[in-house]
Every structure is written in structure tokens, then in C-alpha cells.
Amino acid sequence: MSNLTASGSSHHGDLKNALLQAGEQLLAEKGIAAVSLRDVARAAGVSHTAPYRHFRNKADLLRVLALIGFVRLNGEFAEARGSEKFGPERQLVAAAVGYVRFAMANPEMFRLMFGGLVLTDGDAEYMVASRAVLACLEDIMRAGIAVGVFRDRDASELALVAWTSMHGLVSLLMSGAMGVRAADRDQSGKLVRVVMQHVIFGLSR
């Protein structure tokens, strides 16, 4: 009578991954506020107490989900940096565009990652994951300083400014505080470029 709900064979070995997969899907579909641990378990085809074998509680599952989000975001950044035929400025713009694209494609994941609902104030894994994002930007800035296009300051300082700008832009865009509706993503591309143009101008010598 137990309905094995789609999403492939799961109930044998790696229930943990099945739960995370179901969680990510529910997060994207129903939004962070509407995702319940019982729903996740249901979607994975197990009883609602089974998740407690693999996660301390609901917050812990969400925390791991956020970490997965950081891995995805890092991938987007790495891709931007990978296009080495571009100069540092264009790599920085590409990173910002990737940032926006990631947030637009996974809005609820983005909220989960930066909404502060998950944070244990000093969670080691979370800090490692988020620092990796900053590190990728630092690489770009360092290269730009070496070539002489960016100001000769601490690379981490410049990276922080860059991250701050693109994060603020995306964050405001997605919160709705900028008055841009969810449907108008085309215009946002232009917005990103305008803002990043100013930021790069400020970071350049």
C-alpha cells in the first residue's frame, strides 16, 4: 500500500540523499516557509520520523540544504572565472551575472542561504562554504591587481567590496524592495551591468 513516489528508487541505501533531494525540490516548489519535515519524508516515501536518523532536526536538514546551495553558487563563480580569455573586469561582471542568474533560478535557495534562518552563529561548515565564494572573487581581484587594472589594495578588501555590491543588488532585487516585479528579469540584466560598471570604476586605478 505504500506509494513509492516517483524520483527513482530511494528507499534502500541512501535515504539521506533522497531526503535532501526531496527537500530541495519542495523548497523550490513551495517556498521556504511552506516546507515541512513531514512533507519531505512523505516525498521520499518514508515515515515522518525517519529523517531523524539522518538529521538532528528540521533546522539541520535546512542547514545542509543551504550548504548544497553554496556548492552550486561556487560552481557558477568558477565558471565565470574559467573564461580566462576575458580580462579581470569582464570576469567580475560575469561573476555578478552568474550571481544574479543563480538567485533568479533558485530564489528560495538563495533566501535559505542568506536569510539567516539557518545560521547557528559560527557554524564551521557554513563559514567554509561562504568563504569559498569570497575566495573566488579574491582570485579575480588579485589577478586584476597584478595586471594593473585594479587599485593596489588588499585583494580581500577589493573582493569584499565586489561581493557586497553584487549581493546587495541581488538581495534588493529579490526582496522586491527595488520595486522590480518577479517577471522582469530582462531589465535586471541591464541593472547588474550598470551597477557593476560603477563598482568596477571605483575599484580601478
Partner DNA sequence: ACCTGAACACCGTTCAAGT
Residues that bind its own copies (CB under 8 A): 32-33, 107, 111, 113-117, 119, 121-123, 126-127, 130-131, 133-134, 157-158, 160-161, 163-169, 171-172, 174-179, 181-182, 191, 194-195, 198-203
Q: Which of 5, 7, 17, 57 binds DNA (CB under 7 A)?
A: 57
Instruction: Give least dist CB 19 to its own copies, A.
Output: 21
Is residue 73 within 8 A of residue 99, CB to CB? The reply is yes
Region binding DNA by CB under 7 A among candidate stretches 57-65, 69-77, 106-114, 156-164: 57-65
Cβ closest to its own copies, residue 11 vs residue 153: 153
For residue 1, the partner it binds in DNA, its own copies, none, with Cβ less than 5 to 8 A by kind, is none
For residue 178, the partner it binds in DNA, its own copies, none, with Cβ less than 5 to 8 A by kind, is its own copies
Does residue 151 interact with DNA by CB under 7 A? no
The secondary structure of the chain, three-state, reads CCCCCCCCCCCCCCHHHHHHHHHHHHHHHHCHHHCCHHHHHHHHCCCCCHHHHCCCCHHHHHHHHHHHHHHHHHHHHHHHHHCCCCCHHHHHHHHHHHHHHHHHHCHHHHHHHHCCCCCCCCCHHHHHHHHHHHHHHHHHHHHHHHHCCECCCCHHHHHHHHHHHHHHHHHHHHHCCCCCCCCCHHHHHHHHHHHHHHHHHHHEC
Q: Which of 5, 7, 17, 47 binds DNA (CB under 7 A)?
A: 47
For residue 8, the partner it binds in DNA, its own copies, none, with Cβ less than 5 to 8 A by kind, is none
Contacting positions for DNA (CB under 7 A): 2, 11, 15, 36-39, 46-50, 52-54, 57-59
